[in-house]
Structure 1
Amino acid sequence: MATDTPVNPKDTDRARTLAGFAITVLLTSFVAATYGFGFYLFAQIVTDMREDLGFGYTVVGTVTAAGQLGFLLFALLGTWLSTRVGAGYVTIGSAALCGLCLVLVPVTDSIVVIGILLTIMGGTAASVYVPLVEIVGKVIDYRHRGKVLGLISSGTSYGVVVNSLLVPAFVGGGNWRGLWYCVGLGTLMTTAVATFTFLRLGLFRGDDGEPGHAPEQSGERDEPAADSARAGWRMVLVRWVVIVWIIKFLNGFACMPFQNYLSPYLREEQGFDIHSAAQVWGVIGFIGMFAGFAVGWLSDRIGVRTSLLLCYAMFFVSAMLLVLAPVHFLPMVSGVLFALAFYPIYGLVPAYVSKSASGAAATVIFGVTNVTQGLGGIVGNYTAGFLKSATGDFRWYYVVIAATTVVLGFLATRLPREGSPESAVGKQPPPSRVDKDLAHA
């Protein structure tokens, strides 16, 4: 008579660790590809593409704006699809679509077609990111989610670094098309590996055999998809969720213009040369490679709320240095503080959501945050441009940024402790099959 083979706890722990490591690497790679390649590569080689294809900066501005619009639309679409077909399908589909668009860009000489492809890639940066909190909630143990999501949020830095290494090799030889092929094929290969991994971990199926809902490993179980999604859309009635949405709006309002206008502010208004401004940006990118993981690790020990307060304090000092003393080495100090705050912030908010909500409800909550962040960036960039036109000085927007960080710090103190009963959304008692499923994954 057949009997069930006992599951060795050590084997279960080993399987859980390997699964967590694989998912972390793959999701970080997806963010690196969709943001670093799909969102920022065009900006790095636009000069060479303009010389070859013959389009002007009006077209560049239009394409960039279209990419932002794609981000907003796909944030909504990704949220809607995740609650219906599952987070795993949306993540893999978004990465594959990004890789396909990357490969198709060098095939055509039509800037209209390229603009459409870049708009879609801008969208995949949102739709690949929206389901991450649900996937991390299924595979990563509760006590490690902060550091994992912090590392994933730094994926943009890794993508930009890869771009910086590849651009001279390809573009220096006049082969900008080969660069698109290279990053596109690399993205598609990573997606293939991720598809196999997701299948092995059951991220395309549910606990009851339905697609898209694998059991959580942290001792939690998702509600049925439809119920969890409806709960997510009703989050407008939950105080802490509204606070998170406002925080993400203000993050976009302050962080995006800080980056966009930093170089013009230093070079045009403060007299720094291009090399000094580039050094500041280089330091920001280098620190961003590690800051997300480091502060995420800290948040797993001292709490997400406290870590957010720390980041907003550094962000405040960074902005005030540019307002009061943008001289000598102080802009570099400002850049260091900005990098230490900026990249972790984009991992801390999903970490808070992942530790406070689960399943499709978490996906809906986080999906809306991406929309509010995009809207905040649009409003912030417009406000910065308006203040520059009205006053002739970018300095005043950095004053606005400093004031915004004070508001953000206050809002962070209004959040309930992550994982507390007050913040819990979409959770049910733990299932009995979790360890067995992971042990055989």
Structure 2
Amino acid sequence: MRMNALIVVLLTALVAATYGFGIYLFAQLVPDMRASLGFDISYVGAMTAAGQFGFLVSALLAAWLTPKLGGGWVIFGSGVVCGGALLLIPLSHNVLVIGALLTVLAGTAATVFVPMVDVLSRAVAYRYRGMAMGLVSSGTSYGVFINSLLVPVYAPQGQWRTVWWIVGVLTVMIAVAVFCVFKRAGLFVKAPPLALSSGRDPDPCVDATLTMGKSLLMRPWVLTIWSMNFLIGFSTFPFQNYLSSYLRTELGFAVESTAHIWAVIGFVGMFAGLAVGWLSDRIGLRAAMLLVYLNVALAALIFVVHPVGYWPLVAGILFAIAFYPIFGLIPAYVSKMANSAALAVTVFGVANIMQGVGGMIGNYCGALLASLYGSFVGVYCAIGIVAVLLGGLTLRLPKERVVCPASNSCAVGD
């Protein structure tokens, strides 16, 4: 049991590194890196869009590699590549090279997260999987919180490269720990093709109609999940990527105040995934999804109509409650609707590809809107509209399957 808990903690730490450091540290350091390297906001949009392209390609690669190599090796390799890329950024003075490294970092986020379903299905009992996924999905917030502590210390002094050095070393240490623990737990050995539930804790609710093949991939709930992931990437990624630029360059917030908002986002996110995951076990995954999309819409509305005083901080809190949990709620829903780890990895792998496409297009469109109109207001207005659309799609999802320990028949819960 202690080993399983340690595995979940290390996976959370690796998500903190690949997402929190690999993707969102750049968003916090954009003003400082622009001042030092001399690129404009349109290039920021191009780099973040390239990052999402890397996420897209790597999600496809992870879905292909995981059955062949095993989730353990894919996750460990991603941690090593992430650490190396983080350490190379402060060595570079060329914006094209930095853009390429940021693309690689976004790719490692996908190659860590897609195999999570495989590894967690082997390491965590079915009835605890929702909580575990909730914690792992909050990993990004831990990385964001660490960023918010480092940026105000080094960025005002022009030492933004030091921040990359620190997080790079931390990531390498995490990767070493992952190797040691995974090897001891036997996670470098490939799992059987059909193993969504561990042998000790079988899932008695198996939907016989859910079989591998093209017919499954055309089921309405699968198509809806993929559409939702596209819109999640399209809206939530630009929300964070342009937050510092909006606050500091358009609204006039100081670097310390902006870092404080990021710190609150990270701090709230540390607990949001676990709390919303716990809540979803009681009110249902669909209801929990509606809650988080409502929060995204409210946060965007604040930045559109009244981004002054303490209201941007309130918007940050609302966004944190929504953003981090959704990346646990989606795989939890997929794992409950699928009847094997291989099936879940396939569906979730394509979902991450759609998320990458959405993020790529959303980041590029966000930069284009900001450049054309000289303001980020239109960006956050679009994000709010998309959040409403996500709520509508959630209502179209069927009720998720639930475990029925008292019998061998399936029950459906909301």
Question: Normalization by structure 2: what TM-score?
Answer: 0.81
Once the two structures are superposed, residues 66-102 of structure 1 have per-residue CA deviations (whole angstroms, 9 ceiling, x without a partner) of 3222111111111111122221111111111212333
CA drift of 1:137 comes to: 1.8
Once the two structures are superposed, residues 84-139 of structure 1 have per-residue CA deviations (whole angstroms, 9 ceiling, x without a partner) of 22211111111112123333444565555444333222211111111112211222
Q: What is the aligned residue count?
A: 398
Q: Residue 22 in 1 paired to residue 3 in 2?
A: no
Asked if the contact 2:50–2:360 (Cα under 8 Å) also holds between the matched residues in 1, the reply is no
Structure 1 segment 64-75 matched on structure 2, within 5 A: 64-75=48-59
CA distance in 1, matches of 2:43, 2:247: 26
CA drift of 1:285 comes to: 2.5
Residues 115-124 or 389-398, more deviating: 389-398
- The partner residue of 2:223 within 217, 239, 242 is 242
Number of the residue aligned with 1:378:
360
Number of the residue aligned with 2:186:
202
The one-letter code sitting in structure 1 at the alignment partner of 2:292 is C
The one-letter code sitting in structure 2 at the alignment partner of 1:368 is V
The one-letter code sitting in structure 1 at the alignment partner of 2:177 is V
CA distance in 1, matches of 2:3, 2:312: 41
Structure 1 segment 359-438 matched on structure 2, within 5 A: 359-385=341-367, 387=369, 394-419=376-401
CA drift of 1:26 comes to: 0.7
Q: Residue 315 in 1 paired to residue 266 in 2?
A: no
In structure 2, stretches of 5+ residues that fail to align are: 410-414
The one-letter code sitting in structure 2 at the alignment partner of 1:218 is D
Name which one, 1 or 2, has greater alpha-carbon Rg: 1
Q: Residue 258 in 1 paired to residue 239 in 2?
A: yes
The one-letter code sitting in structure 2 at the alignment partner of 1:37 is F
- The partner residue of 1:219 within 202, 210, 220 is 202
* Percent identity of paired positions between Structure 1 and Structure 2: 48
Number of the residue aligned with 1:336:
317
CA drift of 1:247 comes to: 0.9
CA distance in 2, matches of 1:260, 1:179: 18
CA distance in 2, matches of 1:174, 1:393: 26
CA distance in 1, matches of 2:50, 2:356: 12
CA distance in 2, matches of 1:169, 1:266: 18
CA drift of 1:174 comes to: 7.1
- The partner residue of 2:110 within 126, 129, 133 is 126
SS of 2:187's equivalent in the other structure is coil
Number of the residue aligned with 1:433:
none
Asked if the contact 1:205–1:213 (Cα under 8 Å) also holds between the matched residues in 2, the reply is no
- The partner residue of 1:144 within 128, 136, 141 is 128
In structure 1, stretches of 5+ residues that fail to align are: 1-16, 224-229, 422-427, 430-441
Once the two structures are superposed, residues 392-423 of structure 1 have per-residue CA deviations (whole angstroms, 9 ceiling, x without a partner) of 664444443333223222221222222359xx
CA distance in 1, matches of 2:288, 2:314: 20
Asked if the contact 1:235–1:242 (Cα under 8 Å) also holds between the matched residues in 2, the reply is no
Number of the residue aligned with 1:165:
149
The one-letter code sitting in structure 2 at the alignment partner of 1:219 is P
The one-letter code sitting in structure 2 at the alignment partner of 1:400 is A
Asked if the contact 1:204–1:214 (Cα under 8 Å) also holds between the matched residues in 2, the reply is no
Asked if the contact 2:286–2:397 (Cα under 8 Å) also holds between the matched residues in 1, the reply is yes
- The partner residue of 1:285 within 260, 266, 273 is 266
CA distance in 1, matches of 2:159, 2:373: 43
The one-letter code sitting in structure 1 at the alignment partner of 2:60 is L
The one-letter code sitting in structure 1 at the alignment partner of 2:280 is S
Structure 1 segment 14-163 matched on structure 2, within 5 A: 17-45=1-29, 56-57=39-40, 62-106=46-90, 112-163=96-147
Once the two structures are superposed, residues 317-338 of structure 1 have per-residue CA deviations (whole angstroms, 9 ceiling, x without a partner) of 3333444444544333332222
SS of 1:360's equivalent in the other structure is helix
CA distance in 2, matches of 1:188, 1:264: 29
Residues 394-403 or 91-100, more deviating: 394-403
SS of 1:416's equivalent in the other structure is coil
The one-letter code sitting in structure 2 at the alignment partner of 1:293 is L
Once the two structures are superposed, residues 1-57 of structure 1 have per-residue CA deviations (whole angstroms, 9 ceiling, x without a partner) of xxxxxxxxxxxxxxxx323311211101111111222223445456766777x5644
RMSD: 3.7
Cα gap change, 1:293/1:378 in structure 2, threshold over 3 Å: closer, same or farther? same
Cα gap change, 1:179/1:319 in structure 2, threshold over 3 Å: closer, same or farther? closer
CA distance in 2, matches of 1:59, 1:144: 43
